[in-house]
Amino acid sequence: MTNQYFRIAQALKFERPSLNWDPDKKLQWDLCVKAVANACKNYKGFDRVLFISECGNLFYAWGE
């Protein structure tokens, strides 16, 4: 993956809701991360699992 993908992942990770936030906020963040990963998945050198993991979202990295 290029440095650009890691920058996007870090920005998404920074916005990740904490455990005590509303579950709807967490769901919305999960969907946002998944949408960005799906939009980038066809670009050369993009690793979807690594990207989602770098965002701090291991559920989607291994679940879908």
Say what the pLDDT of residue 35 is.
92
Say what the pLDDT of residue 36 is.
92
Say what the pLDDT of residue 59 is.
57
pLDDT digits (tens), the chain, 64 positions: 778 888 989 998 888 877 777 778 888 888 899 899 999 988 888 998 888 888 887 554 444 4
Say what the pLDDT of residue 23 is.
78
Residue by residue, what is the 3-state secondary structure of 10-61? HHHHHCCCCCCCCHHHHHHHHHHHHHHHHHHCCCCCCCHHHHHHHCCCHHHH
Model confidence, pTM:
0.76
